[in-house]
Structure 1
């Protein structure tokens, strides 16, 4: 089961986040999914995740790439340490394109249920990246 759950998370990262595949997103996302990392007062269901990838990250970064460094699975949870990288070629949260290479470090914990994302917790360095880009 741990290997299967790791593959679900790997597939989500590559097919959904990196490649923007909406069909895979719906196949891998439980309808009652909860994103525990959503900002307080913001939506935390499946659509909030899709919105982040499609309306925030993908328009801001060309050559978007996910590099998975480590995955650890125990029970129904998978922890992944990864980097989201690309070229800042579009507006990112109000910051105009700089043409700079960017890398966001991420640690995610995903609870997988029946081969789908059921819950997500995560930490990332996006705020650090925004601080650097705003000074460029």
Structure 2
């Protein structure tokens, strides 16, 4: 099961880097719940995750995620990601700065029948926000 979940996580990274809806439907349960700190309520299913990707791509159109490390226990995966991109649109109230960013995220995923059923996303928003602060601050 461990290797299967590693393969599923690699497929998930392919989804978040391409926003390919077919991959999203394959890897994410329609009833999946995604908890992220920059949205007031959790989002649901593949379309909900595409909303998260859309928010990130609006601000960082070239954003790419790399899966750095996974720890797997049963049907739960703890994953450490690095995301890289360029701040070219507004993000959480900060206008585009053109600055390159690199930030970490620690996320916990629960899988049911080979699909993601829940994610608790914990991106390093503080580190990211510090990187995109305008020079005059």
Q: TM-score, normalised by structure 2?
A: 0.85
Q: Where in structure 2 are there 5+ consecutive unaligned residues?
A: none
Where does 1:29-68 land on structure 2 (aligned, <5 Å)?
Answer: 29-37=28-36, 41-46=40-45, 47-54=47-54, 56-68=55-67
| Alpha-carbon displacement from aligned partner over 1:10-55 (angstroms, at most 9, x marks no partner) | 2112x2211121221122111111224466851431233221112x
Whether 1:70 and 2:54 are equivalent positions in the alignment is no
- How far apart are residue 113 of structure 1 and its match? 1.3
Q: TM-score, normalised by structure 1?
A: 0.85
- Alpha-carbon separation, structure 2, partners of 1:4 and 1:84: 24
RMSD across aligned positions (CA): 2.0
| Alpha-carbon displacement from aligned partner over 1:34-83 (angstroms, at most 9, x marks no partner) | 224466851431233221112x1112213322122111111111111111
- How far apart are residue 134 of structure 1 and its match? 3.1
Q: Where in structure 1 are there 5+ consecutive unaligned residues?
A: none
Q: Secondary structure at the match of 1:134?
A: coil
